[in-house]
Structure 1
Amino acid sequence: MQKTKTEFSEHRKVVHSTKTDGEPGMAELCPLCPCKCIELRTHLAEEHKIAEEAIERLLLNTASSSLLNDSASDKR
């Protein structure tokens, strides 16, 4: 579990952080609705009324399920 959390944190830093030229990172797809958001945590808190602790768990679960799907498709 710790490895997955570390991989997720590293992924967020590299892919979704602010670019060096000051432009925002790429939009993320909300796991609960079809919205693409630059500030996914803010969207989840304001639009879906999710607590910060629950947002953390949701994003970790989404990341781990994505990793599982990727590894399953690699085996095909």
Structure 2
Amino acid sequence: MNKINLPLDYSIQEIKKNLSILDVAEEFGLKLKRSGRSYFTLCPVHGEKTPSCSLVPDTDSTRDFSTALVVGLAEIK
């Protein structure tokens, strides 16, 4: 079920304003565990047993410590 309900005519900027990185992660079915101001989850890119992917809602960014991949909603074009 799609939990993110945005009108189809939203621009990319409007989507970025109305979504958090946590909304996107939960939409993809990632299980998040809070630790301080960050949330950790298993990396969706590769298989692993220990969560290495950090999501930071304050900056709407994520960092995978095992691959050094850093991505944020602001980078979506």
- The structure that has the greater radius of gyration is 1
Return the TM-score normalized by structure 1: 0.31
Q: Which has a greater percent of strand?
A: 2
**Bigger relative contact order, structure 1 or 2 (CA pairs below 8 A, ≥6 apart):** 2
Return the TM-score normalized by structure 2: 0.31
